Chains A and B, each alone.
Chain A
Amino acid sequence: KAGVTQTPRYLIKTRGQQVTLSCSPISGHRSVSWYQQTPGQGLQFLFEYFSETQRNKGNFPGRFSGRQFSNSRSEMNVSTLELGDSALYLCASSLSVGSTLETQYFGPGTRLLVL
């Protein structure tokens, strides 16, 4: 079974631009979560989607948004990019939500560099 895929793998943008990242979950998985990884802050939760609805949200500004499509694929968007948005953005999928018994499986990430 194919794993979580993320596109693109690498991105370079300039301050003020916006960016869209894409994630395809493992087949049959209906939940997608996004995390930001930086050297300073480590891994931080952005948001979680299930059945096209945002179920949980981390402590990030409104410039960060996401959505999920009917086929469970997800996109996240960052508007008005800042230098501090440079990070590895990781997508994870799981079968469902609402249980601590669920296991999240991660993709390889998209590395975003903001100049």
Chain B
Amino acid sequence: GDSVTQMEGPVTLSEEAFLTINCTYTATGYPSLFWYVQYPGEGLQLLLKATKADDKGSNKGFEATYRKETTSFHLEKGSVQVSDSAVYFCALSDQGYSTLTFGKGTMLLVSP
């Protein structure tokens, strides 16, 4: 079945540091890939998405490129802020369904 693997957290960074959160996936078909973010006490917000190989999703300074050859969708940001502290989820939808399969989530903590 489909699965998503994310790096374990928490990831602890200082403000303005470079961020990478690794995400790899296993899927049967040609999935769409997503990053969602969850702030404390809230639901999930869509951060970015990519629907085909080599697509780059971007939003609010975050980027991720759909790499079919390595089955990866790593999240990056050049300079993190304290307000980026949250839990980040990598997810996919596959086989004609919009249903999402999620990774376990990676907590990011950014200190001033």
Residues of A within 8 A of B (CB): 4, 6, 31, 33, 35, 42-43, 45, 48, 56, 58, 90, 92, 94, 96-109
With A100-B32, A106-B36 in contact, is A94–B44 under 8 Å at CB?
A: no
- Contact for B96 among A33, A58, A98, A109, CB less than 8 A: A98
With A42-B105, A43-B89, A106-B36 in contact, is A99–B43 under 8 Å at CB?
A: no
Give the residues in chain B near A96, CB-CB below 8 Å: 98
In the complex, the answer to whether B32 meets A101 with C-beta atoms within 8 Å is yes
B residues contacting the other copy or chain, number (CB 8 A) = 28
- Contact for A33 among B36, B42, B98, B103, CB less than 8 A: B98
C-alpha gap A100/B29 in the complex (Å)? 10
Give the residues in chain A near B102, CB-CB below 8 Å: 42-43
What string of 1s and 0s marks CB contacts (under 8 Å) between B1-31 and chain A? Answer: 0000000000000000000000000000111
